[in-house]
Structure 1
């Protein structure tokens, strides 16, 4: 087997020595080319190169969720071919590693590498769904390039938190769970639309859902992790279905405290609920419009402000070796 290993040298939980050990282990089982990323978007470019090459059978990402997202977008630059899905694998190296854990890998990179090698020897793998976000025709975001996401996207409050965390990391702060919690509090008190939402969710053949403060789009469950604690925003979300949505129509101090508690105590059977919570399951096509530009994120990557995003849930989009 011929494989391309895309290595993020800035991965937060792997040292250079650990990465060398992992590369050596993988190279013992396959013909491996390892490439270290050098700029934002490099992993996407490498994934696209692999997809267009007849010499590469598998692409492995060694890094966090951002690296995974870039590689997947490169692999699917021309869309998925149902008859010949690209083969992908991941070795977790980030601070949270939602995608890797969601497909069943441990959060420890050496152990995850061992499972990957076993899967290759035994021919194991699974086909997963993905989400696709696009600029809505006729909106000011019409020309925004399509982009795939593996586990989540968000418009509004949660994307604002992601943006604040990225700003702190650019200033040299480490990506820790306490950093996220502090930014949640700061975003809450800075949020202008938390009592009167600006978002409308539209689905074909259904009445619109209006006046939403925030919307979280999930392709799998859990939505994220706090340390080893899984957090379930949409417990029914699955790699075997299309997309799930959790939207909130109010974020007063009382309701925010209630929903935060529900998230922290969520289980695979029960997520946030109440009169200001809207939960939708297995959506293949829908659009989020906002009266005002709002922060937008995909797979934990802040993408700026958007007023309209069209989502598509694509079943059987990628084969993952696990």
Structure 2
């Protein structure tokens, strides 16, 4: 089988020695080409070329969720969703959280995940997964923003602001740790001018809009993220087999943050955040999030700047994944 291994050399939980061992193990079973990424967007370029060459059957992402996102976008860029016509996607987790890989049921250890991948290839084990697509909304300032796919989540408002703050800290040389995230949550809380009166509106076809959201989390699967080995469920019903789920919060006062933060930390596959300031939607094929003011936006943990309006589409059976 012809395969491309896209390696992020800056992946936080792998070393050059570990990567060499993994490449050797994969090359024993595959006709493998290995390319290290050199800049942001490089993984997307490599995956797009693989989707267009007509010879590559499998693209393996070795890195974190950002690398997986780029590879998925590159595979889908030429012709759109085609799970039976595109190269299959495989993931070896090498980041700090690895939500997509763990949501697929893969081990979080790179060596164990490689073994699981080789077993799946030997057994011909794969599945199709749905993905989310976000794009600029017509007749708004964001109309020209190109569409982009996400594998497990997107966020508009508070949580995206946290992601942006974490990225700033990492650019200054800070390691991506859970303690770093918690510090940025507190800084975003005290620095967010809109946390008491939200500016976001959730608009769905044939349903009354929901106004005044401070935070909006869009989930393509569950869990939403992990704190160490603890899964966190913002939308417990979200699944790779359905469209998109949304959790919105209309207030982030000190009491509300304590309540919903506790609910997230104690969430389970049966129950996520709930209460009079929580808005939940399940299996939405299409909807739009509008804001009265520009707010931070993130996809798969990648901060994408400020937006005022984003259209979302849940696309079932977008890619075939080795799992």
State the TM-score, normalized to the length of structure 2.
0.99
SS in 1 for 2:40: coil
SS in 1 for 2:120: helix
Q: Identify the residue that residue 90 of structure 2 maps to in structure 1.
A: 89
Equivalence map 1:42-191=2 (5 Å): 42-77=42-77, 78-81=79-82, 83-191=84-192
Equivalence map 1:263-282=2 (5 Å): 263-282=264-283
Tell me how far 1:54 sits from its aligned partner: 1.1
Preserved contact between residue 75 and residue 86 of structure 2 (Cα < 8 Å): no
Counterparts of 1:283 and 1:80, CA distance in 2: 18
Q: Does 1:33 align with 2:33?
A: yes
Preserved contact between residue 233 and residue 268 of structure 2 (Cα < 8 Å): yes
SS in 1 for 2:264: helix
> CA deviation digits over 1:259-287, x for unaligned, max 9?
00000000000000000000000000000
Counterparts of 1:23 and 1:284, CA distance in 2: 39
Tell me how far 1:308 sits from its aligned partner: 0.1
Tell me how far 1:82 sits from its aligned partner: 5.3
Preserved contact between residue 3 and residue 32 of structure 1 (Cα < 8 Å): yes
Q: Identify the residue that residue 251 of structure 2 maps to in structure 1.
A: 250
Q: Identify the residue that residue 5 of structure 2 maps to in structure 1.
A: 5
Preserved contact between residue 131 and residue 318 of structure 2 (Cα < 8 Å): yes
Preserved contact between residue 93 and residue 101 of structure 2 (Cα < 8 Å): yes
Preserved contact between residue 6 and residue 36 of structure 1 (Cα < 8 Å): yes
Tell me how far 1:85 sits from its aligned partner: 4.2
Preserved contact between residue 295 and residue 304 of structure 1 (Cα < 8 Å): yes
Equivalence map 1:6-21=2 (5 Å): 6-21=6-21
Counterparts of 2:40 and 2:4, CA distance in 1: 18
Counterparts of 1:158 and 1:86, CA distance in 2: 33
SS in 2 for 1:225: strand
Q: CA RMSD in A?
A: 0.7
Counterparts of 1:124 and 1:274, CA distance in 2: 41
Q: Runs in 1 of length 4+ with deviation above 4 angstroms?
A: none
Preserved contact between residue 85 and residue 317 of structure 1 (Cα < 8 Å): no
Preserved contact between residue 4 and residue 33 of structure 2 (Cα < 8 Å): yes
Tell me how far 1:100 sits from its aligned partner: 0.3
Runs of at least 5 residues in structure 2 that lack an aligned partner in the other structure: none
Tell me how far 1:136 sits from its aligned partner: 0.2
Counterparts of 1:297 and 1:95, CA distance in 2: 17
Q: Does 1:205 align with 2:206?
A: yes
Q: Identify the residue that residue 284 of structure 1 maps to in structure 2.
A: 285
SS in 1 for 2:53: coil
Q: Identify the residue that residue 217 of structure 2 maps to in structure 1.
A: 216
Tell me how far 1:86 sits from its aligned partner: 3.4
Tell me how far 1:55 sits from its aligned partner: 1.3
Q: Identify the residue that residue 236 of structure 1 maps to in structure 2.
A: 237
Preserved contact between residue 202 and residue 286 of structure 1 (Cα < 8 Å): yes
Counterparts of 1:223 and 1:314, CA distance in 2: 18
State the TM-score, normalized to the length of structure 1.
0.99
The 1:82–1:33 alpha-carbon spacing in structure 2 relative to 1, beyond 3 Å, is closer
Q: Identify the residue that residue 320 of structure 2 maps to in structure 1.
A: 319
Tell me how far 1:81 sits from its aligned partner: 2.2
